[in-house]
Structure 1
Amino acid sequence: MAFLDVHAIQAVPPANINRDESGSPKTAVYGGTRRLRVSSQAWKRAARKALEADSARVQASERTKRLPERIAASLAERAPALADTAADIAQAALASVFRVKTNAKKDRLATDYLLFLGVDQRDRLVDVLVENADTLAGAAGDAKKLDAALKGLALRDTVATGHPAAVALFGRMVATDPTLNVDAACQVAHALSTHRVDAEFDYYTAVDDVDNASDETGAGMIGTVEFNAATMYRCASVDLRSLHHNLGGDTEAATSTATAFVRAFLLSMPTGKRNTFANNTRPDFALLSLRDDQPVSLAAAFEEAVYGDKGHLGRSVARLVEHHAQQDGCWGTSPVLCRAVYPAWVGERATGAGTGLPESTDLPSALDEIGARVRAMIGGADV
């Protein structure tokens, strides 16, 4: 077994980065106290986008209902002889691979649910269709012949193998064909504030430039937006052997994907109300723990809400470090490797940790060291 756990303490100023159905910041009750919450889905998407921004190393992916439309457009461009029937072929191809229906809505093709696959996987599927353009052109006018022609092609293999980093990490569910499911190698917790939060409202006004220029007074628009501010505990874990499996047993790909995910997870931020609040912070403290026993969340460090009349950050870091050490001491376990990343001023605030703070390193150095150990663990070498 091999797991890479990521723990972070991050202070976020007034913000509304993840809203519920009423537009309010999401919350949860933990330890009998109302906390700010950011859903795992929100931070997964932010991390996925940050991960794939490094296109030189990480293959892009798409999760969309518009896959038949994308395939049809590529097919028509690359095989002009199929342009008139590209939409029919794309729909039939997806029905053959995913057993999914395609609907035409407002002159656009869409599947009944989101499909998640790599851009390279989609392109390889188009490659197979283009390579068999003559056969498909002859069968396109007859649904039964087209279906028979598609079943003879290796379309399924293009989406069942060669997964991009995002699919390997976050998994894929295909409701109509579970054999194409990919079990996620990554778990992301809902981020929670380490302390109690109360809702606050920003009453705002907007001035009408034209009316005010003609001596009109008052606001052209008024409204309110709900927000709060918090110091949050964030946690994610990567099952390295599962990731290795999802990436076809490629040790280098699994190593680089794991370390790239850690960086993307730590440095990403969901985009809700970003233009309103400019809440673009980064973690103030990160603890990276490589384990060979099980993934471990440290959320219980904050089951009793942190209180600090001089802020919550220092006490939250101290709580996290102490809880981490006491957990392993109690159960007789220990991480294979553990590294902390934080600026000096955080260490000055985080007094009271019974075990003291671990020495800090910079993130690139920590990831290089962890990557070397990950490579050895999943590659089968001695650690």
Structure 2
Amino acid sequence: MALPASRTYIDVHILQTVPPANLNRDDQGNPKEAYFGGVRRSRVSSQAWKRATRTHFSERLPDQDLATRTRRIGGALAKRIASVADLNAEDANRLAGALLAPLKISAGKREGDTAYLFFYGRRQLDAVAALVKDRTAELLALDEKELTAEIEQLAVHKEFSTGHPIDVALFGRMVADIPALNVDAATQVAHALSTHAVELEFDYFTAVDDEQEKEEETGAGMIGTIGFNSATLYRYATVGLHQLVDNLTDEEAAVTAVEEFMISFARSMPSGYGNSFAHRTLPSLVAVTVRSDQPVNLVSAFEEPVTASSGIAAASARKLAREHAAAVKGWGVTPAFTALCHMFPTGDTAELLEHTFGEPLPFTELLSGLRTHLTDTLNQAAR
């Protein structure tokens, strides 16, 4: 299916305050950071939040409607074949290897592994296994050369190139060896940055040995430190509806995928040191804009860091609103749709947000309005 002529970008802007935490650690085990606007900021990588979003999908959507990313696709396919065709492991592994051979994916260091992670839909793998389900006895009777020739006639490549689940359609797939299997991502996710300067802190902890006898020894059974910080984060992502329609070849499915992404991106949280910090919070603000010109990340609102000694989230919301208003006025491009959900009480912050983004809505109503707008947009484009 060709890309629609018109471009439609759904920009998602989130402010979220996180207490002391280590959401996403660097190679030293400390929270990731970045310098922006001349000061050190807390940072959570886009990869970490995309992983959290995908994990949140799995908590809400059927497993078969989602994807898996692994080096062990050969083993996974062999298990599918063994299950549907009632084969032993040796025969299933032989057929799985033969089915994957035409893809010419580079082999990894361990036998049966690919050289890199392969992102595939679970239903896609079922479809590949189904290609040999009713022919296993015939195929296993062939020698290797004959088996290879027979497998090359099957639509393995086609099954991996169609019927993408929403996570592959949203986040894309890169297969270095086989460009034809690549899927262009419909979603871009920015690294989350604190709206203000942060300082790295350390939690010095001790653990007591419950079986330790007082008269034998004193002191802790273990000591250590964990780096942490706390921050109000600006999070941004954009979804290209036109690319999503192309990836899914279904307009209604594409609109549903946007809605599912919105829910999981807003409600997910990287799990680093979750048991130590219990850091899960809800966003204090979610704003969505639909544009036809280009995605617009509003992180420039925080190039000058927020310096409030209290009320950092509210000050950040006001700066975000002013930046959005300045961008609309300066560039003369008004979004086709804007919606807002926030948890700030009535006052200056709430009034400025409403003036800029419109009347605040419960998150479910924001999603409903977005779905209606996107559906209408696609219907108009089809006329």
User: One fold, TM greater than 0.5?
Assistant: yes
Give matches, 1:226-265, under 5 Å.
226-248=227-249, 250-265=250-265
Q: Provide closer, same or farther for how the CA distance between residues 380 and 79 of structure 1 changes in structure 2, counting only shifts above 3 A.
A: same
> How many angstroms does 1:11 deviate by?
0.3
The more displaced of 335-344 and 117-126 is 335-344
Q: Does 1:187 align with 2:188?
A: yes
Check whether the contact 1:135–1:149 (CA below 8 A) recurs between aligned residues: no
Give matches, 1:135-174, under 5 Å.
135-139=138-142, 142-174=143-175
Q: Which residue matches 1:220?
A: 221
Q: Residues of 2 paired with 1:46 and 1:295: CA distance? A: 22
SS at match of 1:130: coil
The AA in structure 2 aligned to 1:350 is T
> How many angstroms does 1:79 deviate by?
1.9
Give matches, 1:333-344, under 5 Å.
333-344=333-344
> How many angstroms does 1:84 deviate by?
2.9
Give matches, 1:275-294, under 5 Å.
275-294=275-294
> How many angstroms does 1:353 deviate by?
4.5
Q: Residues of 1 paired with 2:186 and 2:126: CA distance? A: 24
Check whether the contact 1:62–1:119 (CA below 8 A) recurs between aligned residues: yes
**Which of 95, 105, 128 is the aligned partner of 2:101?**
95
Q: Does 1:121 align with 2:119?
A: no
Q: Provide closer, same or farther for how the CA distance between residues 81 and 8 of structure 1 changes in structure 2, counting only shifts above 3 A.
A: closer
RMSD: 2.1
Structure 1 unaligned regions, length at least 5? none
The AA in structure 2 aligned to 1:343 is M
SS at match of 2:17: strand
Give a deviation string over 1:23-74, Cα, whole Å, max 9, x none.
Answer: 0110111111110100000000111121232225981110001110011112
Q: Residues of 2 paired with 1:352 and 1:43: CA distance? A: 30
The AA in structure 1 aligned to 2:124 is Q
Name segments (4+ residues, structure 1) moved above 4 Å: 212-215, 351-357
Check whether the contact 1:241–1:378 (CA below 8 A) recurs between aligned residues: no
Give a deviation string over 1:132-158, Cα, whole Å, max 9, x none.
Answer: 32332122xx32222111101111111
Check whether the contact 2:106–2:177 (CA below 8 A) recurs between aligned residues: no
Q: Does 1:44 align with 2:50?
A: yes
TM-score by length of 2: 0.93
> How many angstroms does 1:216 deviate by?
3.5
Check whether the contact 1:171–1:182 (CA below 8 A) recurs between aligned residues: yes
Q: Which residue matches 1:78?
A: 84
Give matches, 1:313-352, under 5 Å.
313-345=313-345, 347-348=346-347, 350=349
Q: Residues of 1 paired with 2:348 and 2:220: CA distance? A: 44
Give a deviation string over 1:254-282, Cα, whole Å, max 9, x none.
Answer: 01110110111011001111111000011
Q: Does 1:133 align with 2:136?
A: yes
Q: Does 1:14 align with 2:29?
A: no
Check whether the contact 1:118–1:164 (CA below 8 A) recurs between aligned residues: yes
SS at match of 1:62: strand
The AA in structure 1 aligned to 2:313 is L
TM-score by length of 1: 0.93
The AA in structure 2 aligned to 1:75 is I
Q: Residues of 2 paired with 1:14 and 1:239: CA distance? A: 34
Check whether the contact 1:10–1:232 (CA below 8 A) recurs between aligned residues: yes
Q: How many residue pairs get matched?
A: 376
Give matches, 1:59-78, under 5 Å.
59-78=65-84
Q: Residues of 2 paired with 1:119 and 1:83: CA distance? A: 20
